[in-house]
Amino acid sequence: MLQTHILPFCSFFNQLVHVKYNSLGRTSIQKSGEDLILLAEWGLISSPVVLSIACCVFYSHCGNLAVLREKTFDRRNSGWFSWWNKEEPHTWLAKLVGMTKLKDQVCKSWFAPVGSASDYPFLSKWVIYGELTCNGSCTESSNEISPLYSLWATFIGLYIANYVVERSSGWALSRPLSLKEFEKLKKKQTKPEFLDMVPWYSGTSADLFKTMFDLLVSVTLFVGRFDMRMMQAAMSRVEEGAKQEDLLYDQFSEKDGLWFDFMADTGDGGNSSYSVARLLAQPSLRLQVNGSMLTLPRGDMLLIGGDLAYPNPSSFTYEKRLFRPFEYALQPPMWYKEEHIAVSKPELPPEVDELRQYDGPQCFVIPGNHDWFDGLQTYMRYICHKSWLGGWFMPQKKSYFALQFPIGWWVFGLDLALHCDIDIYQFKFFSELVRDKVGENDSVIIMTHEPNWLLDWYFNQKTGKNITYLIRDHLKGRCRLRIAGDVHHYMRHSYVPSNKPVYVQHLLVNGCGGAFLHPTHVFKNFNEIYGTSYETKASYPTFEDSSRIALGNILKFRKKNWQFDVIGGMIYFMLVFSMFPRCHLDHILKDDTFSGRLGTFFGTVWDAFMYMLGCSYVSAAGAILLLTIAIVFVPSKVSWKKRLLIGILHVSAHLAAALILMLLMELAVETCIRHNLLATSGYHTLYQWYRSVESEHFPDPTGLRARIEQWTFGLYPACIKYLMSGFDVPEVMAVTRNNICKKGMDSLSRGGAVIYYASVFLYFWVLSTPVVSLILGSYLYISINWLHIHFDEAFSSLRIANYKAFTRFHINSKGDLEVFTLAVDKVPKEWKLDPNWDGESKEPSYLQRFPSKWRAKGLHQDPVNTVRIIDHFVIEQKEKSDSGLSNGSFNQ
């Protein structure tokens, strides 16, 4: 009979189990054996959840009725659709009535009990019985096994079988794969393993707490005390700076021309970082400009301007957020090993004798402030002691370098560390290089991580004195261009021609390599550095778009930063902790008019505020702490008076909201108590209801419950009783509140106080989290659009992966530098394996026509098809004037 009634459902559930197992297995095989085991364990955990849901759904629809059958089940009427009488007219009403019959058929036939207890004498004392249905009072107890118990037993059997199968096959999941098997499984991977954008406002991220700790240690230890740059200089084996092979690279100097790329601030979200890396890896990009097609070949050199992985430098962030997207975009050589450590760079491919002969793309990287959080340890290990970033060869040995390019062009890659300036050893090397190597008519590009011209203007400060001295007194007008990242947008400023000397012609910021977006409109008034006037030539996004994007702080802050609820709810609860409970609030609703009730309500809010100031300890301390944090949170560019005013207004909004929410919650609880909806029968109301339903609908003629209670020494009903009290939070809160209001807080034990405040916190946390996010988001919007402060905080909260860009340079045969900035407005979120890549030959990836593994699911969304030029200008190479300073020229 078990097979007759339960077999259809068993078959269905078994299919579900196989589908779940196969889908989990296939997905996890693409990852590793360890991931397979983890997913199998997840399947074991999910099975009891499925069991509980199935039993609850069944009970809610069918109950626990015992169906007494006086005759053998007639197979002619046992069809799955026997409820449908074909002779009845097929009207909508008839079909509606038929659905009710279907429900009865399911409950009484398909999931009918497996039989009576007399059919299974051995199990008669260990089963749950069904509830009898009869007219009037039933004279005898049920002898039919509960259909709910039958369903539960069936599920348990399937669960045990599933568990045994998964455990017995665990050896196959965890055994090491051969290289051939690994390559075969690797090709079956259907989507890339990208990480999301870093949640900067997360209250649960261990990475962010580690970042804060690393930053504190770095600022305390490395700024002014220990500097890895000094260590690099001390370990150099060559005395004369201008001859140091570890710092000067001239493998491209004899070419007739050169293409090279610049990007910065990558290693955040996988989608955005890979989008830029995919564009950089393409053999060429074809773009339409003014009705004609323009082809831009891949750069022979890739320059990366720091901040390689967020939020902090570690093996995990470098491997997952930096190396993985670049390896997907352009694969390293087949013989490359991830664990390999390069001790004698450059480690050239076997068929190449010297660096000049290598014709593949190369990469040079300077560190950013985020790379310095651990004292440059991770950067040194992954950049200076590894030879490949994906398919880009990395010959560099130190964190700063000089590159000699064709036709008199140079690139100085400077390491500013956390000092926002170069150290004395860097200054010595570059100043001697300018004196001995750089010609009078040569042109220099200075690459730094931080655009100090923008940030110094914004924060009203002066940094980079050594850089300024190098540019003004040593280069003397030969610095034609400065490029930097750190600020995650694109902006270009060009000098305004005048009679004054021009030390730098163009200032370019491009930090759109993969990190979250920064605004542009807060920097639109920048116009001077080194005594030279500049004007904005290009910005991406535009000032109008940047201002509009900031509105997302009001609309999307909580959606983008839901983890902030943990901190926000705790802060609000701390602000009102001392005000719970607020007794005797019935006077608020006694007024006949709405305005009168509103006035009384806010009067009570004011009384609570005064109580906090005069009598509370926890709430007052929380308010003072929050005020201190809010004042310090305001950027230092604002005067102390304005910082104090902004902090007070900000905290006042949060405090008022917390008090209003507290009073609304207390008023709701008191109203429920007055209408006998809560606090009617003590702490265990839910358990008493459960026992009454259990005794009514689940008969126990054999005394099974009493035996279990005896064998467990009373733990069986006690655990259920107190667990139900834990789930009946409103009742616990209301009963305890009544006791406090009648007898005072002193009547409550310490354990009772903990239970009360915990129950209050749960509901208050749910009420407060949307409000705290709304107020903080509104504060950030007002700050960025009205006050032009918090440009970092207001846009990191939005975690925008779109608006990504890089800059491609071309030194042509005349010695002019053509500059193209290419951008993608919208980054794809879904990728699929590129069939063209899958069919490529085994030659080096940089020789392949389709070097990138993934492409967007929609071709119209792929970065290769959506990329566009947002800025183009030319810096002409020509002789300097007698003064040694050049006004140059540019075309846009």
* pLDDT above 70: residue 132: no
Mean per-residue pLDDT, 151-157? 75
The angle subtended at Cα 126 by Cα 121 and Cα 129, nearest 5°, is: 90
User: For the whole model, what pTM was predicted?
Assistant: 0.79
Give ∠ CA 460-466-471 in degrees, rounded to 5.
95
Q: What is the pLDDT of residues 27-77, one digit of tens each?
A: 333 344 445 444 455 555 566 677 677 777 777 767 766 655 444 444 444
Please state which architecture CATH assigns to domain 208-541+803-875: 4-Layer Sandwich (3.60)
Looking at mean pLDDT, say which of 95-109, 154-168, 642-656, 713-727 comes out highest: 642-656
> How do residues 797-837 score in pLDDT, each as one tens digit?
999 999 999 999 999 999 999 999 999 999 999 999 999 99
The whole-number pLDDT of residue 507 equals 97
Per-residue confidence (pLDDT) for residue 99, from 0 to 100: 59
Domain ranges (residues) in the chain = 2-187, 208-541+803-875, 553-796
Three-state secondary structure readout of 132-154:
ECCCCCCCCCCCEECHHHHHHHH
Residues in CB range of 820: below 8 A, 6 or more apart: 296, 807, 808, 809, 810, 869, 871, 872
List pLDDT tens digits, range 338-360.
889 988 888 998 888 899 999 99
Q: CA–CA separation, 547 vs 522, rounded Å?
A: 9
- The two tokens of residue 266 are 């990558």
Decide if 111 contacts 62 (C-beta within 8 A).
yes
Report which of residues 452 and 134 the model is more confident about. Answer: 452
User: How far is the C-alpha of 386 from the C-alpha of 392, rounded, in Å?
Assistant: 11
Say which residues have a Cβ less than 8 Å from residue 424's Cβ, sequence separation at least 6: 466
With cut-offs at 50, 70 and 90, classify the pLDDT of residue 24.
very low
User: What percent of the chain lies above the pLDDT cut of 70?
Assistant: 76
* Average pLDDT over the chain, rounded to an integer: 82
Highest average pLDDT, of 142-146, 154-158, 407-411, 880-884, comes from 407-411
User: Quick one: pLDDT at residue 86?
Assistant: 47
- Given a cut of 70, whether residue 453 has pLDDT beyond it is yes
